[in-house]
A and B are shown apart, each in its own frame.
Chain A
Amino acid sequence: MSQARVRALQNGINIGLRFCITKRVIRITELVEMHIPDGLMDPVIALTGWIEFLVVAAVALFLVRTRVKDKDLPRIAVLSAGVFVAQMLNFPIGGGTTGHLVGGALMAIMVGPVVAILGMTVILLIQGLMFGDGGMTAFGLNAVNMAVIAPLTGWGVYTLIKPIVSRKDEKPFGPGTAIAVAAGAWASVFLAAAACAAELVVSYAISGGTYGIAATVSVPAMLGYHTVIAVGEAIITAGVLAYVWSISPGVFAREPVATTKAEGLRGILHLKTTQATIAVLIAFALALPLYFIYSAEGADGLEKTMSDAEVEEGGAVFSSPFSYGENYFAALFAGILGFVVTALAALGLLRILQGVKAAD
C-alpha cells in the first residue's frame, strides 16, 4: 500500500472518530429505555401485566382514598409533575452518554409507596397518551415496572436499610440517610430494568420470536446499561432529597407517622419494617406469573432439540431444585435477584422480631 493511501486511510479514520466523538453519533441513552411500546410484547404477557397492574392499582386507590385528603391533591400532582420534569433533566454518565431519572424511588421516599404508585401511574398515562412513550396495550407492563416495582423496591430498601446505617442522633439528612436513599434508588431502577428484561425474554420465548427481544440482546442491554444509570439515579435522588429536606422540610410532608400504637398482629403490621418487607416481597412476587407462563409454554431449548432429533432422555442422576434458566445471563441475574430479595426479606424478618422483642 502506498504511503499516500495509508495517510488517506488514517485521515479517514481520524475524521470518522472525531465525528463520532463530537457528534455522538450513537446515543446509547436514546436506544435503551424502559417504556415498552404497543406490539412489542406477547399478548399473554401484556394481559398479565394489565391484570397485575389493575389489582395493585385497586388496592392503592383504596388505601389512598382512606388516607389522602382533598387538599393534598395539588401536592401529589406537583410531585408527579416534578418527577416528570426531573425525567427531562439529564445527567452525564461519562464518555458522552447521558441518563435521566426514573423517579419512582424519589417519590416513594418523599411521600410513601401508595401515593407514589398513583403518582407514577399518572406520569406514565400522560407519557403514553400524549407523547407516544409506552403503548396502551403495554401500559400494564410499563406501570408494573415503573409505577409499582420501582417505588415499592425503592421505599422498601430505603426503609429496611436506614435503621442499620444511620445513627439515632443523626441530622435530618446525614450520611446514613444518604446511603439508604442511594441504595433504595439504585435497587429500584435495577429491579425495574430486570423486570422489563424478563418480560422481553419471556415474550420472545413463548412467541417463538414473533414478539419480545432475545435474551442475548435484551438482558445485557437492559441490565448492563441500567446498572450504570441506576448509579446516577442513586446520586441524584440523594441530592434532590438532601436539598428538599434541608431547604423546606415541610413542603412535602413525609408519610404520616402512626400515632396510635396497636397491639398484636395489627401492631406488627403497623411496623414500618413489616410494611417495607411486604413491599419488597410484592415487587418480587409480581415477577412470578412470568416464570409460570415461561415454564408452562416455553419449551426448553435442549428438550426441543432432543425431541426433534428423537433422542430419549435418560434418567437424571441428580436433579437440581432450581433450573438454571435459559442461558448464562438469565441464570446469573436470577441468582443476583434471588440473593438480594432473600437478604432483604431476612433482614426485614430479623428487624420485625427485634421490634416485637423490644415491645415485649
Chain B
Amino acid sequence: MIVAHVRGHRVMAEGLDEHAKSSWLSGLDARAKLIGILAFVVATSLLTETRLVLASLAFSVAFAALSQVPPGHLARAYLSALPFILIASVSVFLFAGYERGLDMWARTSSCVLALLVLASGTETFELFAGLRRLRMPAIITTLLMLTYKYILMMSEELSRMTVARKARGFAGGRSLLDRRGIKVISYTAGMVFVRSAERADRAFDALTARGFDKDMRGWRRSKIAAPELSFVAWFVTVSVILMLLQLGVSP
C-alpha cells in the first residue's frame, strides 16, 4: 500500500494542475462536479445487478474518455488504487462465484474511476473551494488547504533526505529486528516533522501577509450557469435511471 501511495503521489506530482486548466471539465464550477459525481458514486455503490453495474462502469469509462484527462495518467492513478479492489473482488470471486466477483470489481472500479477523473480534472484548490461553498466547516477546508500545501513541501523534504540516506549507504533495513534500520527510519520521520514545523509557520505568515484570513476564497468567480446545470442534470439523470432499473430488478 505504501508503494501504491508513493506511486500515486508521483502521479499527482507530474504537473497535473497544468493540464487541468485547459479542459472543458476544469472550466466547470467545482460544486457542480462534486454534486454530480457524488450522486453517481452513491447510486453505483447501491447497484447489485450485473448488467447495471457494467453499464455504470461503461458510463465511468466514457466519462473518463470525454474528460480530456490523459488516459495514461488515469491508468496509473487507478493502478495505485487497485490493490484493495483486487483483494475484495478476488475473495468474493473465490467464495461467492464468478458473477459476484465481477460485480464487485466493476462497482468499485466505476466509483474509483469517476472520483479520479474529478480529482484530475479539477485544480486542487478549486476542489477545496468547492467543498467550502458546499458549506463544509471552514476549519476543515482551511486545514485541508494548509495540509495539502505542506504535504507538497514535506514530500520534497522527505525525498531529499531519502537521497541523502541512500548516499550514505542505507538500503532500507532488513526486518523489524534490524535495530539500526528501524532507528534510521523513525528518526527520518521525526526529522520531517521538526524541519517542517518552522517552514510551516513561515508559510502561514506569508499567507497571512497576502491577506489570508482563515477562510478560503476561490481564485475564480464561482457561478452556476447552463454548463454546470446540464452537467449535474446529466449525472443525476444517469444515477436515477440506474437506481430505478435496480429497484425494478430486485423486488
Task: Give the B-binding residues of A (Cβ under 8 A).
Answer: 27, 29-33, 35-40, 43, 46, 61, 64-65, 70, 73-82, 84-95, 98-101, 118-119, 121-123, 125-126, 128-133, 135-138, 209-211, 213-214, 216-218, 221, 228, 231-232, 235-244, 247-248, 251-252
The count of chain B contact residues (Cβ–Cβ below 8 Å) is 90
Q: B221 → chain A, closest Cβ, in Å?
A: 23
Report the separation of the CA atoms of residues A75 and B193 in the bound assembly, to the nearest whole angstrom: 10
Specify the main secondary structure of chain B where it touches its partner: helix
* A100: contacting residue among B5, B92, B103, B157, CB under 8 A: B5
B151 near A37: Cβ-Cβ < 8 Å = no
Q: A78 → chain B, closest Cβ, in Å?
A: 4
* B144: contacting residue among A39, A89, A125, A237, CB under 8 A: A125
Query: Which B residue sits closest to A245, measured CB to CB?
Result: B190
Contacts A74-B201, A78-B150, A240-B193 given; indicate if A136 touches B115 (C-beta within 8 A).
Answer: yes
Q: B239 → chain A, closest Cβ, in Å?
A: 12
Residues of B with C-beta under 8 A to A214 = 91-92, 95-96
* A131: contacting residue among B12, B104, B178, B203, CB under 8 A: B12
Report the separation of the CA atoms of residues A123 and B150 in the bound assembly, to the nearest whole angstrom: 12
Residues of A with C-beta under 8 A to B46 = 43
Residues of B with C-beta under 8 A to A33 = 1, 4, 83-84
Residues of B with C-beta under 8 A to A31 = 83-84, 86-87
B147 at the interface (CB under 8 A from A): yes
B142 near A73: Cβ-Cβ < 8 Å = yes
Report the separation of the CA atoms of residues A246 and B81 in the bound assembly, to the nearest whole angstrom: 37
B183 near A133: Cβ-Cβ < 8 Å = no
Query: Which B residue sits closest to A76, measured CB to CB?
Result: B143
B189 near A126: Cβ-Cβ < 8 Å = no
Query: Which A residue sits closest to B201, measured CB to CB?
Result: A74
Residues of A with C-beta under 8 A to B103 = 210
Report the separation of the CA atoms of residues A101 and B186 in the bound assembly, to the nearest whole angstrom: 10
A231 near B186: Cβ-Cβ < 8 Å = no
Q: Which B residues between 181 and 237 are near A, CB-CB below 8 angstroms? A: 181-183, 185-194, 196-197, 200-201, 203-204, 214
B91 near A77: Cβ-Cβ < 8 Å = no
